[in-house]
Structure 1
């Protein structure tokens, strides 16, 4: 069955659901079908373009929007559960929506305006935003080689980005740039124009279908109202970006538990020095599955903890820079870092332990079980946890607040 058929088979008609239970019911059939074909898609490098569109059309990108704005009004705690379930089906898909979720939150936290209303309407209509913040090469820390300038013909964007997760599937790209006055800005640019090129040239060994490749802007046209000062971005954005990846790791752990258990139950061949005539009854192998299950349980609990911290930060967004807001944002940043430190180590280990329950047949490429370790290791490499461990330690010992924004580049 093709991706298009899958989407047509499960994407419901009518208005978006309201509430967590309705959203789960709405997406459960699609998640199930996504999972059934995930290993083949990754093995054949089949881009999930139709699946991303199906999720967006079914309201996945509008889950945080208020019901009055055409969304489902979910809390971060409720959305986090859905992200984990989607990651358990195919870990590429929630990461594709990472930049979108962040920009949705930025608009939700922004003061009321006609521009904000226009963006909420776009989200409700199923439009998707990709991400283009990183640049490779000799780019100095904290600076951007991408430029936005105002001309007699309008506002134009030029530059080259990499690690543009989700942009391959998006209607819009959220790109960082520098304006003519040297200010850091974010620019929302339409993808479907001659000045924008997005390439599927990400060559990582994991998360291969996330569209994490190159985006080139060659005098791309930008509407003036879609240029935003970076300093005005919502404060808990770094925690939200990491929360998405923590949710992906939790989903991978859940998939590892599910697939390891299924493979063990189906196994008929045993070893003479094993403990039971059937592998599923072998106590040693059951213990390994128990370790994997504990990791999956811990991962889901950590996602919930970070979700609660994000909900608290979102609740203070209207009181920006108040004592309550500062404290809530510090808590969200620390919680996301603590979860990252734990899961960046535990989930790849669980994805490796899977092979301790099975024989050599488990390494068959057709089984695709290796994708879980590759994907977990790739997700864990996005933001090095060793630095986060130091930051959390400094906070724990000395009460030092974490820096909410950090950069990658060459030192001066």
Structure 2
């Protein structure tokens, strides 16, 4: 089916809320059974949400970063694994905006507006750190050939285009767009983490894969230039965690109201009248409100910075603004998903309720980039004026 063409921020938000209500219904079952959300991701594509960040000059809505963050937060409050699948789709579109030529932009943006999905094949296992790459794009007598092995490839299994980061013959970083079905491309559904179970963030194999030159984007200049690509990527990560936190708190309240028993010494008839439970629910809601407020503030900062020339100082300010939000969304996602069991009681741990999915999802996703380094970046910037390193994890 052709994708709907979204034309405004409000329309994007309305559609996200409608989809979230539908996605929420079977989210627990999909998690329990590791049922990949093929039907749901097709609904997402048909809705037009995948094209909301395409620039207006290419026919997109070019929604604000505030709206983009809210779309992810809303979807992830319903199903954070499903909501995480398009995170790299939007991250790659940010790279396209900076690194692609006009012909490449026109082609990629047109595909996206027509409902095609972009995946990811960047990180690798067994390297010194997340930034090191072993994948290679080599020029041969028969044209370019791509070889390598990737992991943590969220979205690749569901994608029509799989962008692969690699090094060319000169050791320069490139982004190679590989079309689904290209000989030599194998996507393996081997993601076995205990959380975010249905993101299919597993292995991508690249074996002597032919590459057309028009599908190669140079990344060297992009890496050297100041941008907000990293902060935008991190904003989406923070929004995912905020959605997880909201779902955990909502399920806590529902369980306490309808299933939990009051403690024998409390002297109350209902668990929802327990003064200590009441106190903790209030505390969780305040922390969630604070996290969401910083998330919105960070998104607003990106919207403002994006309207001017982005220099090194602006890029640093963007990273710090998002890092502050990331700290709070991480903390509330973990706290809320653990407090659920303390407040709801022993019955909430029964497998039939599958409420542990909130903690499993929060613990897994917040490992994406260590929040301790966010605190370090904030402190070092404020105390010593040291700007964070520029990459997708800052």
Q: Does TM-score exceed 0.5, indicating one fold?
A: yes
Q: Note if 1:216 corresponds to 2:244.
A: no
Distance 2:354 2:130 in 1: 38
Map Cα deviations across residues 49-95 of structure 1 (whole Å, 9 max, x no partner).
Answer: 22112101211111112455343331000111111000100011232
CA distance in 2, matches of 1:382, 1:281: 38
Deviates more, 1:324-333 or 1:180-189: 324-333
> Residue 391 of structure 1: which of 367, 371, 377 is its match?
377
1:179-206 CA deviation, whole Å, 9 max, x = no partner?
1121111111112223111112122221
Deviation at 1:138, TM superposition (A): 4.5
Q: Could you tell me which of 162, 179, 191 is aligned with 2:180?
A: 191
For normalisation by structure 1, the TM-score amounts to: 0.89
Question: Pairwise CA RMSD of aligned residues?
Answer: 2.2
Aligned residue in 2 for 1:333: 319
Does residue 315 of structure 1 match 2:301?
no
The residue aligned with 2:350 is 364
* 2:282 alignment partner, one of 282, 286, 290: 290
Aligned to 1:273, the other structure's residue is in SS state helix
1:410 maps to what in 2?
Answer: none
Q: Among 62, 84, 93, which residue is 2:51 paired with?
A: 62
- Select between 360-369 and 285-294 the one with higher mean Cα deviation: 285-294
The answer on 1:351 being equivalent to 2:337 is yes
Cα deviation for residue 40 of structure 1 reads 0.9
- Which segment drifts farther, 327-336 or 78-87? 327-336
1:252 to 244, 247, 250: 244
Tell me, yes or no, if structure 1 residue 105 matches structure 2 residue 94: yes
Aligned pairs for 1:114-263 (under 5 A) are 114-138=103-127, 142-233=131-222, 235-263=227-255
* Distance in 2 of aligned mates of 1:327 and 1:190: 37
Deviation at 1:378, TM superposition (A): 1.2
Q: Which residue in 2 is equivalent to 1:6?
A: none
Asked if structure 1 preserves the Cα contact closer than 8 Å seen for 2:145 and 2:208, the reply is yes
- In the alignment, which residue of structure 2 is the partner of 1:306? 298
Q: Is 2:76 aligned against 1:90? A: no
Q: Give the Cα–Cα distance (whole angstroms) in 2 for the partners of residues 101 and 406 of structure 1.
A: 12
* Alignment equivalent of 1:50, drawn from 18, 39, 44: 39
- What secondary structure is seen at the aligned counterpart in 1 of 2:206? strand
Q: Which residue does the alignment assign to 2:9?
A: 20
> 3-state SS of the aligned residue for 1:220?
strand
Tell me the alpha carbon deviations over residues 281-322 of structure 1, each in whole angstroms, 9 at most, x when there is no partner.
Answer: 332212221122122212211221221222234323xx4xxx
Cα separation, partners in 2 of 1:221 and 1:14, compared to 1, 3 Å:
closer
Residues 231/368 of structure 1: CA separation in 2 closer, same or farther (3 Å cut): same
Cα deviation, residue 399, structure 1: 0.7
Q: State the partner residue of 1:376.
A: 362
Q: Structure 1 CA distance, aligned partners of 2:67 and 2:129? A: 39
Whole-angstrom distance in 2 between the partners of 1:377 and 1:354: 14
Gaps of 5+ in 2: none
User: Relative to structure 1, is the Cα distance of residues 111 and 210 closer, same or farther in structure 2, using a 3 angstrom cutoff?
Assistant: closer
More displaced, 398-407 or 244-253?
Answer: 398-407
Q: Against the structure 1 CA distance between its residues 349 and 124, is the aligned structure 2 distance closer, same or farther, given a 3 Å change threshold? A: same
What runs of 5+ residues in structure 1 fail to find an aligned partner?
A: 1-10, 408-412
- The normalised TM-score by structure 2 is 0.92
C-alpha separation in 2, matches of 1:173 and 1:194: 13
Once the 2 structures are TM-superposed, how far is the Cα of residue 139 of structure 1 from its aligned partner?
Answer: 5.0
